Amino acid sequence: MKHEITVPEVSEGVTAGTVISVSVAVGDQVEEDQTLLELETDKAVVAIPAPVPGRVTEIKVTDGDEVAIGAVIMSIEATGEDPSEAETEKQPPIGAIEPEAEIPPDPEPETKEPLPPPVYQQSKEQVLDLTPVRRDDQVAPAAPSVRRLARELGVDIYQVQGSGPGGRICEDDVRAFVRNTMQQLASGGVSPLATGGANGLHAQRPLPDFSKWGEISTEPLSKIRELTADSMAYAWSTIPMVTQYDKAGVEDLEEFRKEYNYRSTSDAKLTMTAILVKVCAAALKTFPQFNSSLDLVRKELIFKHYQHIGVAVDTPNGLLVPVIKDAGDKGVEELAVELNDLAERTRQRKLTPAEMEGGGFIISNLGGIGGDAFTPIVYAPQVAILGVSKAEMQPVWNGREFEPRLMLPLSLSYDHRVIDGAAGARFLRWICQALEQPLHLAMKG
């Protein structure tokens, strides 16, 4: 029986995606759940699996194609199904001479070309403008041509008030936004909008022709890079942030971790990051404002009574942040298993959008690479993020003498509209103490 494979609903608000790699060819025999192709949307990369075992009979897309949700992308002739259930409407009437069953031709033996690497280039005709339309999980209701106009004029479309039904934004709305903003500029400055956002103008200044000075090459931005650029620019231009630095002596913890990994029969390694997830979840329970979001429109703080912690994962395609849900209710062992699994699937681009949503706080551990300190950027609408640098042996004065200690540098960036400096310092000290004396965590966490 023929199964048509359609693009599934990936996430709310996502209407289309880009095929980044087709993993099968016509004639391939596939298992149930085997990945047929990978699709990149503005929320995530998703693998589309085979719903049944069978043979691929048709592929309608190729790498780089833009496809709408619901579009048919492939067909599979299922194998192993009960023939009495399949194709019943095509059964010949009783007594009729049964024609010979039509057998699809065998695939050309061994003519399959090796799959090309994913291509991100799109032909102009096929492009369905998929410019990121997400901001704090809201979708800007605008046609691709309107979004294109906004981009050309350097307007952040999320700041444009739509005049159409349901707030739909049309070209006139974008032009009116530019006119108003220019008038405000001319009359002495732009006041921040009620959303607390910036003035909405993120125009890029014209670039010089770099090829004048030597050879250059270009490559299109991946969706991940586009989204990262958008969310970082938004956070940087709207959140007044401060970074607080501290250090925790972690020699006892490291000794325990190494001993645990040596004795453990589990596949999942206990890492410093997993321990930090546990400690931060406990810290968020003690200091709930670090797990809040600021709503300037309603003039209120939203407190989350769950501890969903994002962990920044470095992948060849860019930074992604899977979220460990309810970290405060889980033990370190369970968190280690979950983190290993999430990080692995993140690198393989096998996360679902839901696994990257709902985070209230992020840990960004660059210590495996190196560095003394850095200033992580708060990821709106969160209000704080913990950066972790490389733990190193250092001489520390204990009041009588210098003693060698393994010091883990921590950098906490926070939204200064929500968190005062003293609270930032206390929160980070609390984390340091919990790492230095885990009993402290058990007593208070």
Residues that bind ligand CAO (CB under 6 A): 271-273, 311-314, 319, 343, 364-368, 376, 388, 390-391, 408
φ, ψ (nearest 5 deg) of residue 414? -145, 160
Asked whether 419 and 289 are in contact (CB, 8 A), the reply is yes
State which residue, 16 or 272, has the beta carbon closest to ligand CAO.
Answer: 272
φ, ψ (nearest 5 deg) of residue 235? -65, -45
The two most distant CA atoms of the chain are separated, in Å, by 103
State which residue, 133 or 431, has the beta carbon closest to ligand CAO.
Answer: 431
Q: Any catalytic annotation for residue 3?
A: no
Rounded-to-integer distance, Cα 298 and Cα 77, Å: 54
Those residues whose C-beta lies under 8 Å from the C-beta of residue 167, and which sit 6 or more positions away, are: 141, 161
Q: Nearest-5° angle of CA 390, CA 323, CA 349?
A: 90
- Concatenating the DSSP letter of every residue in 45-109 gives EEEEEPSSSEEEEEE---TT-EEETT-EEEEEEE-S--TTTTTGGGSPPTTSPPPPPPPPPPPPT
φ, ψ (nearest 5 deg) of residue 290? -75, -10
State which residue, 54 or 376, has the beta carbon closest to ligand CAO.
Answer: 376
Please state the closest distance from residue 313 (CB atom) to ligand CAO, in A: 4
State which residue, 337 or 366, has the beta carbon closest to ligand CAO.
Answer: 366
Please state the closest distance from residue 414 (CB atom) to ligand CAO, in A: 14
Please state the closest distance from residue 252 (CB atom) to ligand CAO, in A: 15
- Go through the chain and tell me how many residues it has: 445
Closest-CB residue for ligand CAO? Answer: 367
- Marked catalytic residue, from 3, 202, 305, 416: 416
State which residue, 218 or 265, has the beta carbon closest to ligand CAO.
Answer: 265
Strands 361-365 and 309-311 come out as parallel
Q: Nearest-5° angle of CA 287, CA 290, CA 295?
A: 125
Give the residue numbers marked as catalytic: 416
